[in-house]
Amino acid sequence: PTVSVANVEYAQESTRLLAQTSLRNVLGTRLLSELLCDRGAVSKAMRECLDEATANWGIKVERVEIKDVRLPKMLQRIMAAEAEAAREARAKIIVSEGEFKASHALKEAADILSQSPCAMQL
């Protein structure tokens, strides 16, 4: 703490601002699924980053906790629209595969009927 008092004006505020910057840096390198599912790894990366930066100030960061992850409403809407588009795309693929299989079955039936002299033509 002596170094932080002698060399860093407003050590607590500087640490808080550094935490915000470090959080942005760490979050920028992660996928959203990682942030939501593995907060422990994100907290560990933050703690290591902060501890390294504040070591010269005589400050030891012992713990970082991420309590909540909130997304802006606009980002939530964009993600929902993207998920809906992905579901619609998968549905179209399933429909087209079904139509493809049905057309092959109809072609096979037509081939079989065309080879049979007793088959009735419509």
Number of domains in the chain: 2
Higher pLDDT, 122 or 109: 109
One domain, residues 33 and 64: yes
Q: Are residues 97 and 80 in the same domain?
A: yes
Same domain, 92 and 105: yes
| 63 and 76 within one domain | no
| Residue 76 or 9, more confident | 76
Q: What is the pLDDT of residues 17-63, one digit of tens each?
A: 888 888 888 888 888 888 888 888 888 988 988 888 888 878 888 88
Domain that holds residue 109: 71-122
pLDDT digits (tens, 9 = 90+) for 56-86: 878 888 888 888 888 889 988 998 999 999 9
The verdict on 6 and 65 lying in the same domain is: yes
SS (H, E, C) 59-112: CCCCCCCCCCCCCCHHHHHHHHHHHHHHHHHHHHHHHHHHHHHHHHHHHHHHHH
pLDDT for residue 29: 87
